[in-house]
A = this chain, B = another copy of it.
Amino acid sequence: MFPTYANVSERMAAPPALAISTVIFALRPSAVSGRPTLWLPLVKRIREPFEGMWALPGGPMTQAESLQDAAARNLRETTGLAPAYLEQLYAFGGLHRSPSERVVSIVYWALVQPTEAAMAQESANVKWVRADATGPLAFDHNEIVEYALWRLRNKMTYGSIAYHFLGEKFTLAAVREVYEAVLNRSVDPANFRRQLMTAPQIEATDEYLQGGKHRPPRLYRYTGVEAGGPPGFHQLS
């Protein structure tokens, strides 16, 4: 099963195991308040260590994929969705993350647009939970989720990733609800609207969202690109 080494020094020089994990965020209306809240999927561990506990989706790194591709595949297999946003979070490599062997995990975080069908794709081994109430997780995954939340909030405050939670067309109120859900505070609708209007990447359509109880709001479109990385580095591999 494992490669054998001729002597001790070769064994010491062997690389740690390498794994990929993903923190996948989606926005879903709360059952109680109806307002959107942050959710993420977990998978149940079916072997030791931490057998039976919930953990972030992930798996061992293979030779044939780039890091980004491995993370995207991981996301697809877990949620059935294509990533609207995918970015590297951090490489975790502490000595005692896993009790059995040394594992270095490269963690990605993603935003997906929750289709009704895909969210229902739960099973005995996959469940979605609120991001702020995951319960105890395997390995150091609680820390990882906390850090991912911090990065998400940080990017949200000045950045334009909010749109990746939404579909092609959206109301400005929907964008505001994304902000409120992620930052966990209320935002003045009037000022928020003006801030978005000054951004050249927001384009008004001539459509209105019908079917609401009140005045139909105008729909807008996001025309920016912003891949999951710093500007000028279109595909960091």
CB pair A91 B88 closer than 8 Å: yes
Of B17, B88, B92, B233, which one neighbours A236 at CB under 8 angstroms? B92
Measured CA separation A236–B91 after assembly (Å): 9
Measured CA separation A64–B9 after assembly (Å): 12
Indicate whether A164 reaches chain B with its CB closer than 8 angstroms: no
- A97: chain B residues at CB < 8 Å are 237
Indicate whether A191 reaches chain B with its CB closer than 8 angstroms: no
Measured CA separation A93–B104 after assembly (Å): 13
Measured CA separation A12–B63 after assembly (Å): 6
Q: Indicate with 1 or 0, residue by residue over A92-128, a CB within 8 angstroms of chain B CB atoms.
A: 1111010000101010000000000000000000000
Indicate whether A33 reaches chain B with its CB closer than 8 angstroms: no
CB pair A147 B230 closer than 8 Å: yes
Q: Indicate with 1 or 0, residue by residue over A16-34, a CB within 8 angstroms of chain B CB atoms.
A: 1110000000000000000
Indicate whether A193 reaches chain B with its CB closer than 8 angstroms: no
CB pair B16 A94 closer than 8 Å: no
Measured CA separation A62–B16 after assembly (Å): 7
Measured CA separation A154–B65 after assembly (Å): 30
Cross-chain pairs A/B with CB under 8 angstroms, 11 sampled = A13-B63, A14-B63, A63-B102, A64-B95, A93-B237, A95-B237, A97-B237, A147-B233, A150-B231, A150-B232, A150-B233
Task: Supply 6 further A-B pairs (C-beta < 8 A) apart from A11-B63, A143-B233.
Answer: A14-B63, A15-B60, A18-B104, A67-B104, A88-B91, A154-B230
- Partner-B contacts on A (CB < 8 A): 3-5, 11-18, 60-67, 88, 90-95, 97, 102, 104, 106, 140, 143, 146-147, 150-151, 154, 230-233, 236-237
